[in-house]
Amino acid sequence: MRVRHLASAAALLGALCVPAQAQARDIGRDTLPAHDGWAAHGTGTTGGAAADDAHVYTVTDRAGLVRALDGGSDTPKIIKIAGTVDANTDDDGGRLDCADYATGGYDLKKYLAAYDPRTWGTARPSGPQEEARRASAARQAERVELAVGSHTTLVGLGSSAVLKGASLRVDGAHNVIVRNLDLRDAYDCFPAWQPNTGGLGDWKAAYDNLWLRGATHVWVDHVTASDRGHLDEDEPSCFGRNYLRHDGLLDITNGSDLVTVSWSRFADHDKAMLIGNSDTATGDRGRLRVTLHHNEFEAVVQRAPRVRFGQVHVYNNRYVVPDDAHDHRYALGVSTESAVHAENNAFTTPGHVEAADLVKSWNGTALHATGTLFNGYPVDLLDIHNAYNSGSERDLTADVGWTPALHGPIDSARQADREVARGAGAGRIR
Q: Which residues are near Ca ion by CB under 5 A? A: 208, 247-248, 251
Please identify, using beta-carbon distances, which residue of 32 and 252 lies nearer to Ca ion: 252
Distance CA 69, CA 360 (A): 39
Active-site residue among 62, 143, 287, 303?
Answer: 303
Please identify, using beta-carbon distances, which residue of 40 and 178 lies nearer to Ca ion: 178
Q: Residue 20, Cβ neighbours under 10 Å: how many?
A: 8
Q: Establish whether 303 is a catalytic residue.
A: yes
First CA to last CA across the chain, in angstroms?
44
Please identify, using beta-carbon distances, which residue of 208 and 284 lies nearer to Ca ion: 208
Q: Where are the beta strands (DSSP E) in 137-282?
A: 145-147, 152-156, 162-164, 167-171, 174-179, 182-184, 192-194, 202-204, 210-213, 216-221, 224-226, 237-238, 241-242, 250-253, 257-262, 265-271, 274-275
* Sign of the CA dihedral with 335 first, then 337, 340, and 341 last: positive
254 — alpha (psi -120 to 50), left (phi > 0) or beta? left
The least distance separating Ca ion from the CB of residue 205, rounded to whole angstroms, comes to 9
Helix or strand (DSSP H, E) at 316: none
C-alpha angle with apex 129: 123 to 132, nearest 5 degrees? 125
Please identify, using beta-carbon distances, which residue of 276 and 371 lies nearer to Ca ion: 276
Please identify, using beta-carbon distances, which residue of 224 and 254 lies nearer to Ca ion: 254
Structure letter (DSSP) for residue 95: B
The least distance separating Ca ion from the CB of residue 277, rounded to whole angstroms, comes to 7
The least distance separating Ca ion from the CB of residue 395, rounded to whole angstroms, comes to 30
Residues 6+ apart with CB under 8 A from 373: 345, 346, 347, 379, 413, 414, 417
Alpha helix stretches (DSSP H) within 145-235: none
Distance CA 325, CA 405 (A): 36
The least distance separating Ca ion from the CB of residue 248, rounded to whole angstroms, comes to 4
Please identify, using beta-carbon distances, which residue of 191 and 248 lies nearer to Ca ion: 248
The least distance separating Ca ion from the CB of residue 126, rounded to whole angstroms, comes to 23
The least distance separating Ca ion from the CB of residue 102, rounded to whole angstroms, comes to 23
CA torsion 114-120-126-131 (nearest 10°) is 10
- Active-site positions read 303
